[in-house]
Structure 1
Amino acid sequence: MTELVVISLEPWDDVWRRNQYVIDGLLRSDPGLRVLFVEPGPDPLYDLRTGRRPRRGAGLRVEDGYEGRLMLLTPTKWLPRALGPASDRMLRRSVTRAVKRLRWVQPVLWINDPLWAASAASTGWPTLYDMTDDWVEASRAGRISSRLRGGDAALMRDADRVVVCSDELARSRGRLREVRLIPNAVDVARYRRPAARPSDLPDIPVAVYVGTLHEDRLDVDLCVQCGQALDDANAMLVLVGPNALSASNAQRLATARGVVLLGGKPFDAVPGYLQHATTLVVPHVITTFTDSLDPLKLYEYLAVGRPIVSTPVAGFRDASYAQVTIADRTDFLGTVVASVLADEPPYDVPAALPTWDQRVREFREVIEGLVDDRR
């Protein structure tokens, strides 16, 4: 029996990301695995300061569909981190209490969030640091940036294994220590299975973007301009994904001509939006942060066979596939409009697209190595 505690950057919800695909695959392929998935906790004091109703974390509960082997824990962040280390100590205690309640002795610790770095030393559990983004390079306020850098440095020093998702992270972190590269993937069969056109997808030619809307990735100015150019061509830019933008940028996109925001969609509904796009787009900024990414959408876009227009962002700019067109910022609008008006037929799916089954096997090797080290 193997126990795994996952400190996640995102909740376990129906908008799936890398760690949910991997954890789901691990649980379904190993009946002896049990997982405690720790979600980001609500901050009641922040809610009060911003005029929202204070919320508490949902605590420990069992997720459906895994025979009781997937537990979710949503702690409550009772104190702001600005007051010192007490806030993080309270969050860590909520995890160790849950582990004791489950009667686990020494689980494997899987950390996505570098702000939880002290858990590796405080618990003594075998630790995997899984880097899905280089948050050290993200644009954050000085205090948060300092904590992210400190947490990343501690995990690079203290974690027993480090997994990275992109070639750039393998290069930058591989100069510091041994790391293992495990990129993203896609469930090809699910994305190729024909889906009905979603009812909220506009019934005109559409350029579709699927992914979390965030200033760290999305070029908001370019999206506004793209919507206007498409509207002039009787087409539209459709943004599908959770909205993590600032209030001002969210308002700009919500009111922009030729742009529609559809919000986050369940992972099993996403293939329909991609399959029925006229063109798939990636209007991303080019920064040190985005250069560290291995975009999940690269694999999902390729799997549905629709034409793709992307700014020269990591992943896409290195993809040698006929359906991918790279356009810098000055050419992006014209290239997108031309692609939408051309309404190209579907492309064949690349034969070598990696699957989540492959990635699950690779992560299992890492976890088994940690378990063997513990023994």
Structure 2
Amino acid sequence: MDAAIRIPATIKTRKEQDLLICFSHLRWNFVYQRPQHLLTHASREHQIVYFEEPVFEECSHSSIRFCDAAPGIRVATPVLPTGTSPARADAIQRRYLDRIVASTPHAQLTAWYYTPMALRFSAHLNFDVCVYDCMDELSAFKNAPAQLALLERALFERADVVFTGGLSLFEAKRCQHRAIYPFPSSIDVNHFHKARAPGEEPADQLTIPHPRVGFFGVIDERLDIDLVAQASKRMPDVHFVMLGPVVKIDPDSLPRANNLHWLGSKAYKDLPDYLRHWDVGWMPFALNEATRFISPTKTPEFLAAGLPVVSTAIVDVVRSYAAAGLVDIADAEDIEAKLRSALAQPREMHLPAVDAYLAKMSWQRTWDAMAAHIKKAGASKKVVPFRRSA
């Protein structure tokens, strides 16, 4: 039998305010990216519960963990016994969700989905507004659940408003919803501008020689491992620094070389300390189904840090940043030439154009625009249709 569900007092006693429950396939403490940026801004107007996918542990009964991730943001993580069936897991999560909603005073209830899979245990709730922030084409990712495409169609029917993480994704989904809007990756300019100023270097990077070409982000099937190996082999005088957690691929499959440095995952707050000591930023993404619709958040982050940037031909990068002359596009044939050209550029060469391009791309501006669409969607649901009297 499941243990009693205890909702922390901080949820119960907080003043009545709009409640936003976010259902996400990403751990809050995994990589700081789009969900964290947007929900941090949303927390100024809403109390946020970030409902993560469950973790499975050797335990006798289920429970739910809460932690305060930031002011106004509470992360809820169901903990289920190893071997719990999918149907049982859905039933347990449904109960936890019901108790959270019932014990949290709120004026309006908003659902914010990053994963359609959460519909399996949340579709019964009567939300005032339902938002689908379609951050990626999850069905194209490695190990995607078989039900994902079907549940996404159901979520499109349920959602009052849909956002997409890039223009290509918007174009692919635009016919599936009446109120869908593209919101490509934005930028915390002040944070990454720190990399333009002098500062101390992290200890694990200190002994790596220059010149340096750097990447940060999740290291998974979207990274072109062969291209990374080729570049490091062709350019033995250049050192390649790779930051980020390795997921869904075998770490032992990563190429190894004296000039290739896999430094692991780093905190978001520490990224400028690494980037300020790089000479070029690069994005060696594979060109496959998993990257067809991505709009990498790191593109504007590299640029805000003041780095020349070289990328493979990701569609949304080519049609925006490359078209504006801010990013060089390379493939396996010319990767060395493009990287060496970028290494020869003064870091300040493109800064005026970069700053002008990024000036209207803040996460605050993006959230304000999203909030306006959400408010409009909520208002339209409250309109009572006109009925003629008999």
Give the TM-score taking structure 2 as reference length.
0.82
- Residue of structure 2 equivalent to 1:12: 28
Deviation (angstroms), 1:269: 1.2
Instruction: Kindly provide the amino acid, as one letter, of the partner of residue 36 in structure 1.
Output: V
The partner residue of 2:138 within 119, 135, 138 is 135
Contact 2:142 2:248 in 1 (8 A): no
Alignment check: 8 A CA contact 2:272 2:305 kept: yes
Code of the aligned partner of 2:157: R
CA distance 1:316–1:65, shift in 2 (3 Å): closer
Give % identity.
22
Please tell me the residue identity of whatever aligns with 1:39: E
Q: Structure 1 residues 103, 288: closer, same or farther in 2, change over 3 A? A: same
Partner of residue 281, structure 1: 282
The aligned residue for residue 267 of structure 2 is: 266
Match of 2:11 in 1: none
Kindly indicate whether residue 18 of structure 2 is the aligned counterpart of residue 2 of structure 1. yes
Superposed CA offset, 1:255-306 (max 9, x none): 3442111122111211222232111111101123312111101111121221
The amino acid that maps onto 2:134 is M
Larger radius of gyration: 2
Equivalent residue, structure 1, for 2:308: 307
**CA drift at 1:312:** 0.6
1:365 equivalent in alignment to 2:378: no
Equivalent residue, structure 2, for 1:171 = 171
1:219-298 alignment to 2 at 5 Å?
A: 219-230=224-235, 232-233=236-237, 235-247=238-250, 250-253=251-254, 255-298=256-299
2:52 to 20, 39, 44: 39
Q: Assess if the C-alpha contact under 8 Å between 2:40 and 2:73 holds in 1.
A: no
State the alpha-carbon separation in 1 of the partners of residues 226 and 234 from structure 2.
13
Per-residue deviation, 1:13: 2.1
In the alignment, the residues of structure 2 paired with residue 110 and residue 275 of structure 1 have an alpha-carbon distance, to the nearest angstrom, of 35
- Return closer, same or farther for 1:355/1:206 CA change in 2, 3 Å cut-off: same
User: What are the equivalent positions in structure 2 for 1:1-375 lying under 5 Å apart?
Assistant: 1-13=17-29, 15-28=31-44, 30=45, 33-44=46-57, 59-63=64-68, 65-66=70-71, 69-78=72-81, 83-104=85-106, 107-119=109-121, 121-125=123-127, 126-140=129-143, 144-178=144-178, 179-193=180-194, 194=197, 196=199, 197-201=201-205, 202-215=208-221, 217-230=222-235, 232-233=236-237, 235-247=238-250, 250-253=251-254, 255-318=256-319, 319=321, 320-340=323-343, 342=344, 344-346=346-348, 347-348=350-351, 349-353=354-358, 354-373=361-380, 375=382
* Matches of 1:64 and 1:289, distance apart in 2: 29
Q: Secondary structure at the match of 1:276?
A: coil
Q: Compute the displacement of 1:364 (Å).
A: 1.5
Secondary structure of the residue aligned to 2:365 is helix
Is the contact between residue 191 and residue 304 of structure 1 (CA under 8 Å) also seen in structure 2?
yes
Residue deviations 1:53-86 (CA, integer Å, cap 9, x gap): x7998834351641xx2221011244668x4533
Q: How many positions carry a matched residue from both structures?
A: 352
* Alignment RMSD: 2.5
8 Å CA contact 1:108–1:367 kept in 2: the answer is no
1:359–1:119 Cα change, 3 Å:
farther
Q: Is the 8 A contact 1:77 1:91 kept in 2?
A: no
- Could you tell me how far 1:238 is from its partner in structure 2? 0.9
Structure 1 unpaired stretches of 5+: 46-53
**Superposition deviation, residue 120 in structure 1:** 5.1
Matched residue type, 1:330: E
How much has 1:207 moved relative to structure 2?
0.7
Partner Cα distance (1:317, 1:55) in 2: 52
Question: CA separation of 1:212/1:221 partners in 2, compared to 1, >3 Å: closer, same or farther?
Answer: same
CA distance in 2, matches of 1:238, 1:100: 48
Distance 1:55 1:166, change over 3 A: farther
SS at match of 2:316: coil
Structure 2 gap ranges (5+): 1-16, 383-390
Residues 107 and 301 of structure 1: CA distance in aligned 2, closer, same or farther (over 3 Å): same
**Aligned-partner Cα distance in 2 for 1:180–1:165:** 9
Deviates more, 1:184-193 or 1:252-261: 252-261
Corresponding residue SS for 1:154: helix
Deviation at 1:153, TM superposition (A): 1.4
Give how far 1:254 is off. 6.3
Q: Give the whole-Å Cα distance in 1 for the aligned partners of 2:289 and 2:115.
A: 19
Task: Report the CA distance between 1:338 and its aligned residue.
Answer: 4.6
Tell me which moved more, 303-312 or 254-263: 254-263
Paired residues of 1:186 and 1:356 also in contact (CA < 8 A): yes
1:181 CA displacement? 1.3
Aligned residue type for 1:364: A
Change over 3 Å in CA distance of 1:129–1:135 after alignment to 2: same
CA shift, 1:371, in A, is 4.0
